[in-house]
A and B are shown apart, each in its own frame.
Chain A
Amino acid sequence: MTTGPTVALFATCFNDTMWPDAPRAVVTLLERLGCRVVFPREQTCCGQMFTNTGYADEAVPLVRRFVDVLGGYDHVVAPSGSCVGSVREQHPWLARRAGDEGLATASEDVGTRVHELSEFLVDVLGVTDVGASFPHRVTYHPTCHSLRMLHVGDKPLRLLREVRGIDLVDLPAATECCGFGGTFAVKNADTSIAMGADKARHVRDTGAEVLVAGDNSCLAHIGGMLRRQRAGVRIMHLAEVLASTEGAR
């Protein structure tokens, strides 16, 4: 029953390697919504870690690879606001910096067709009720790049509100950075931990059982802290909640 568009999944290297449940949930969810999902195997990484640590030259071949492997699709979807932000905002800059105007134009063009999951669901498919069911107390952390780079606004929350059985509670100081920041988490570990401690405290204050976000990188940081504290809060990617049919009749 593939009545919807064909979607190329950009799994992102971090999810592919460490958090496969998120891209798997994207496949489940999009197929349930009638899309035809493809996974171009030649994809690897958007290069964000290199770019944001100052290794722009190392990132340029990955920009080229992204355009070559995913440029031919009408819709590319990734379960990461941060990686989509890097593709849209940083790829053209990286190409221009390397003096490759052709690649810059191509990556700008591809960038218009690359979507973070909630953008694709709400803006392209036009759905907020994705038929999910998840009977748990949940709080949602809007990650910085989805919020301030992609401007996804309340799209993830609109999707979560339609989930059957969910007890969605507001996260205090939600828009404040969790302190992950890629290599910032190790280069400035003390500051990162200070920020993460406050975020974890706000999460605990909600009494939520599950912390949800659209980026597993931020979740690895906050979740790693909550786990160290034996806080009794687990982390889940937005895609996993939206793919869930737990407790559905």
Chain B
Amino acid sequence: MTLQTTSHTFLGMPPFPEAARAALANTQQRRNLAHATATIRGKRALVVGEVERWEELRVAGADAKDEALHHLPHYLEQLEENLTARGATVHWARDAEEANRIVVDLVRATGSDEVVKVKSMATQEIELNEALEAAGISAWETDLAELIVQLGHDRPSHILVPAIHRNRAEIREIFLREMGTVGRAAPEDLTSEPARLAEAARLHLREKFLRARVAVSGANFAIADTGTLVVVESEGNGRMCLTLPQTLISVVGVEKVLPTFADLGTMMQLLPRSSTGERMNPYTSMWTGVHEGDGPQDVHVVLLDNGRSAVLEDELGRQALRCIRCSACLNVCPVYERTGGHAYGSVYPGPIGAVLNPQLRGTSSPIDKSLPYASSLCGACFEACPVRIDIPALLVDLRTKVVDEASGRSPEAASMRATAWMFGDHRRLEAAQRASTLAGRLLGGRSLRSIPGLGAWTQARDVPNPPRETFRQWWARTHGDDEEAGS
């Protein structure tokens, strides 16, 4: 059997502005994304708008996640206890390497050289597919969009719709070219009709579903008081993986824990509406340990930290761990819509990625240093977030971390200090303004097309001429030098 070779990783990505420049020039991707995000935005707005008490639901969702996060050790131990009592085996992984080793060992122990995969962000984050391949184990993505990405030797560009940057014609080409190399080939007369594409994927995947003895999944929620794992999906391919194989290994970020089964009710009202813009998603699978003679008989759960504990220590930043990976923030983000997800250099793109990546990976690499700045702070993400993560505030906080780590050694820091000194006293500001109004008078009606050092501004925008008189000069002239208006 051919060994699946998965996508390229995001290692060594350039800083966001550089990656974005290239992405902005990709006209096909721009068009695909503008169309796709506008469609999802419209659907979401409709189904969120019909919920009268949406704001109360958001608060309840945030509260449930905060309760779990603020007492995380307690709920994780409860989860482990309930999982173990119901026949599952719980493993703890500090980081990606440990998690990958655990999964590889578990698959090897079954004697299988392949796994079918349920769409999972946690396993993307730890690059499990690459680790499995290195161990000679093929990992077959079964989510339609993940399959498109994997077959295309591509990288995911969206949390919910990893192939959002592709259109139907491109998908047809990928299927025709690649399916036959790793399994059942696509029919030669394949068209780009959605139904035909879905049929080709169904036939290709069915072969793998019926053969596979091991499945790997993540989980949307892990419920502490029952030991139940939950996967929320649209296609039913996840359910095939969760029910057919003998062995099921789920890699679950520790922040996925929910205190009670009742909290799931809140989340199920928030997630599908925010994510796909549906009142309810087609398939929600829940499993609680092992059920004799029904479903996988060998059930493992790998609880993954991979930087999350460190985020939890940050009083402001830890609200990012509430994230339920719905993608609403991506779909409403004007930056994401134009640059696409690859520019963010991670499986977590968009506004939440601009927060999570520097939080989880630190701010030492060029891409992670640049991500907190990859936002105009327009606030559309916070408004759309179903668990009320104040993404703009977190971005600003991360920016201070980036600046503090640079210890003031940059031309920008020097100029910021100088400007702050000027604003420290109104007389200094007034002195600077005299220079500016002099320039304004010298320029007269002529307009500025370029100013040295301001190229980033003037490449597409004219510069306003400074006025001949500032406001405070006018005030002094018309209202007297004292601060108040004549009554």
Known: A13-B429, A15-B471. A181 touches B376 (CB 8 A): yes
* Cβ < 8 Å to B, chain A residues 162-192: 175-177, 179-192
Question: What separation, in Å, do the CA atoms of A144 and B333 have in the docked complex?
Answer: 12
Q: How far is the CB of B467 from chain A (nearest CB, A)?
A: 5
Centre residue among A147, A177, A197 by max chain B CB count within 10 A:
A177
Task: For B390, give the chain A residue with the smallest CB separation.
Answer: A89
* A67, chain B: closest CB distance, angstroms: 15
- Closest CB-CB distance, B206 to chain A, in whole Å? 42
| Interchain CA distance A220-B464 in the complex, whole Å | 7
B472 touches A182 (CB 8 A): no
Query: A130 within 8 Å of B by Cβ?
Result: no
**What residues of chain B lie closer than 8 Å to A145, measured between beta carbons?**
379
**What chain B residues lie within 8 Å of A182 (beta carbons)?**
376-377
Instruction: Report the bound CA distance from A84 to B391 in whole Å.
Output: 19
- Please tell me if A227 contacts chain B, counting CB pairs below 8 Å: yes
Instruction: Say if the beta carbon of B424 comes within 8 Å of chain A.
Output: yes
- Decide yes or no: A189 and B376 within 8 Å by CB, A18-B467, A62-B423 being known contacts: no
B-chain residues with CB within 8 Å of residue A45 when the two chains form the complex: 423, 429
Within 8 A of A (CB), among B255-299: none
- Dominant secondary structure of chain B at its interface with chain A: helix
**Interface of chain A, helix or strand or loop or mixed?**
helix
User: How far is the CB of B341 from the nearest CB of chain A, in Å?
Assistant: 14
The reply to whether A44 and B487 form a contact with Cβ atoms under 8 Å apart is: no
How many residues of B sit at the interface, in one of the four size bands?
Answer: 35 or more
What residue of chain B has the Cβ atom nearest to residue A188's Cβ?
B17
Shortest CB–CB separation between residue A232 and chain B, in angstroms? Answer: 14
CB-based contact A190/B21 at 8 Å: yes
Expressed in whole angstroms, the Cα–Cα distance for A190 and B343 within the complex equals 13
Does A245 interact with chain B (Cβ within 8 Å)?
no
Contact between chains at A11 and B485 (CB < 8 Å) = no
Count of interface residues, chain A, beta-carbon cutoff 8 Å: 76
* Whole-angstrom CA separation of A90 from B393 in the bound complex: 9
In the complex with contacts A18-B464, A181-B377, A38-B485 CB distance below 8 A: yes
Kindly state the separation between the CA atoms of A61 and B424 in the bound complex, as whole angstroms: 7
Cβ-based interface call for B230 (8 A): no
Given A19-B467, A186-B456, A190-B17, also A53-B379 (CB < 8 A): no
Q: Does B373 contact A (CB under 8 A)?
A: yes
- Interface membership of chain B positions 415-441, coded 1 if the CB is closer than 8 angstroms to chain A and 0 otherwise: 011011001111001001100100000
8 Å CB interface, B300-315 against A: none
Answer whether residue B399 sits at the interface, using C-beta atoms and an 8 A cutoff: yes
Is B484 touching A38 in the complex (CB atoms < 8 A)?
A: yes
- Residue B249 at the chain A interface, CB threshold 8 Å: no
Q: A20-B467, A39-B479 are in contact. Are A181 and B459 (CB under 8 A)?
A: no
Q: Within the complex, what minimum Cβ distance (angstroms) separates B345 from chain A?
A: 14
C-alpha gap A184/B454 in the complex (Å): 13
* Contacting pair A27 B485 (CB below 8 A): yes
Instruction: Note all chain B residues with C-beta closer than 8 A to A184.
Output: 373, 375-377
The answer to whether A42 has its CB under 8 Å from any CB of chain B is yes
CB nearest neighbor in A for B487:
A2
A196 to B416, CA, bound (A): 26
20 A-B Cβ contacts within 8 A? Answer: A18-B464, A18-B466, A24-B471, A44-B425, A52-B396, A54-B396, A54-B400, A54-B404, A144-B379, A147-B379, A175-B380, A179-B334, A179-B376, A182-B377, A186-B454, A186-B457, A189-B460, A190-B20, A193-B459, A195-B335
Add 10 more A-B contacts to A11-B472, A89-B393 (CB < 8 A): A17-B433, A18-B467, A47-B420, A58-B419, A145-B379, A185-B457, A188-B16, A188-B373, A191-B374, A195-B338
